Amino acid sequence: MAKYVLKCVECGKEYEDDSFRLRCDEDHEPALLRTIYRKKELTVKDELPGMFKFADYLPVGRVIDCMGAPLTYKSERLGKYLGLEKLYVIFNGYWPEKGAFMETASFKELEAPSVLARVPKDCGKTIVVASAGNTGRAFARICSENGLPLVLVIPQQSADQIWNTKPFSDSVKLILAGGNSDYFDAITLAGKLVGLNGFFPEGGAFNVARRDGMGTTVLDFAATVGEVPKHYFQAIGSGTGGIAAWEAYLRLAEEGRYGNGCMTLHLSQNHPFVPITESWADRLPEIPASDPESDKMKITETCAKVLTNRKPPYALRGGVYDVLCESSGRTYAVTNTEAYRAMSIFEKFEGIDICHAAGVAVGSLMQAVENGIVASGDLIALNITGGGERKVKTDYDLHYLEPIACFSDGEIGGRDAVHKLEALFAGV
């Protein structure tokens, strides 16, 4: 018997995992599946690689090589500056002196290992990942290190995001959506590839392994501090990280050893592109339709591009709206000026560079302090979703992944795209 089942948040139907299932079969509104672990007790297994120390709460039957795991520590100087007595940083990134070894400098390194280890070794299929940047970088690194087959589809303008500290293995292939293509064009192209034999989609928010991987941030906090936080701060694009944090909290609440308190989600986006922030401020159960061109304009004005998902999993059952309701959550809009200031303050006090998205999270914590939303004695978790990139680039010469093909904007929507993909992978 597997150590977990998948349960539909909407209808409650349970499934044994076939390693690939993303959705419920029943005819109802869109809903997430959630992992239900049969053994409720969480035992941290430090002997396993990286994040797999939390394997009890990961839907995996094996482990693969990885170094990255969240690192929780008590902030002394930033906490003091903000007047917070119990501020803990969950650091995701590269900071070897502190014990943090995500060489992609991004918490996306918590998603790729669990997604890949959910699938049996030698399943004979190749995973297809569409990405605009750091997700792709994380999958490329982990697949390369483990010799696992991957096809990565990204917009050409993000090609410089796909780097590694070592040369890439031949198991990893890159396809570009060229010209002015954006993330959604990359998704369209990847969708055509998963229609061919021998490929399967990574699945995004619908993949339980992706969410449970990200949820290890909350597990690490609880294992380090001994209880769940009262307030959990994280910047979001799709909001999947917020869903994952809430699901991890629910498991710990049921586990029982980490306190009986409630955890409030504090989720932030980068002004002016803040669809989740605005929708939740008005308690809307769905994000209102908007003009794609106006959205794209707003996105160009943000500094944290990874936070700009135009189709987040907000309205579906078990999605962002639901977890904000359940956690009495709050949302924040953080301007570029606030984010840059927060990045600089964090580096000054904590001694490590952080990414723009993490700057947005720190900026939201500053707003919460200013507005009296958190009290000085509250137990607070601040998820730094990316840090140490400058340090990686100082410590290593970077290797970039060469594309095997580039599709023009016109080609992606056309009929010949499938033939071109078939020809590329014929005999592979």
Pick the closer one to Zn ion by CB: 11 or 48.
11
Segment lying near Zn ion (by CB under 5 A), choices 1-9, 109-117, 223-231, 291-299: 1-9
Taking CB under 5 A as the rule, does residue 8 contact Zn ion?
Answer: yes
As a residue count, the chain comes to: 428
Is the Cβ–Cβ distance between 68 and 50 less than 8 Å? Answer: yes
Pick the closer one to Zn ion by CB: 15 or 73.
15
Q: Give least dist CB 33 to Zn ion, A.
A: 8
Taking CB under 5 A as the rule, does residue 316 contact Zn ion?
Answer: no
Helix intervals (H) in 306-408: 320-326, 336-350, 356-370, 389-395
- Residue ranges in 18-37 that form contacts with Zn ion under rule CB under 5 A: 24, 26
Taking CB under 5 A as the rule, does residue 152 contact Zn ion?
Answer: no
Taking CB under 5 A as the rule, does residue 160 contact Zn ion?
Answer: no
Is the Cβ–Cβ distance between 113 and 64 less than 8 Å? Answer: yes
Q: Give least dist CB 85 to Zn ion, A.
A: 44
Helix (DSSP H) and strand (DSSP E) numbers for the chain: 15, 17
Segment lying near Zn ion (by CB under 5 A), choices 7-15, 112-120, 186-194, 291-299: 7-15
Pick the closer one to Zn ion by CB: 13 or 390.
13
Instruction: Collect all residues with Cβ–Cβ distance below 8 Å to 236 and sequence separation of at least 6.
Output: 242, 267, 268, 269, 276, 307, 312, 320
Segment lying near Zn ion (by CB under 5 A), choices 5-13, 111-119, 283-291, 347-355: 5-13
- Each residue 273-312 as x (binds Zn ion by CB under 5 A) or -, in order, gives ----------------------------------------
Q: Give least dist CB 29 to Zn ion, A.
A: 9
Size of the site for Zn ion (CB under 5 A): 6
Output the CA–CA distances (angstroms, integers) from residue 402 to 131, 170, 237, 396, 399, in the order listed. Answer: 16, 11, 27, 19, 9
Pick the closer one to Zn ion by CB: 10 or 227.
10
Q: Give least dist CB 25 to Zn ion, A.
A: 7
Is the Cβ–Cβ distance between 64 and 47 less than 8 Å? Answer: no
Taking CB under 5 A as the rule, does residue 196 contact Zn ion?
Answer: no
Instruction: Annotate 367-382 with DSSP letters as a single string.
Output: HHHHTTSS-TTSEEEE
Rounded to whole angstroms, the Cα distance separating 219 from 205 reads 19
Residue from 3, 10, 188, 366 in contact with Zn ion (CB under 5 A): 10
End-to-end CA distance of the chain: 34
Bridge partners of 232, per DSSP, are: 265, 381
Backbone angles phi, psi at 385, to 5 degrees: -80, -5
Pick the closer one to Zn ion by CB: 221 or 321.
321
Pick the closer one to Zn ion by CB: 24 or 267.
24
> Binding residues for Zn ion, per CB under 5 A?
8, 10-11, 13, 24, 26
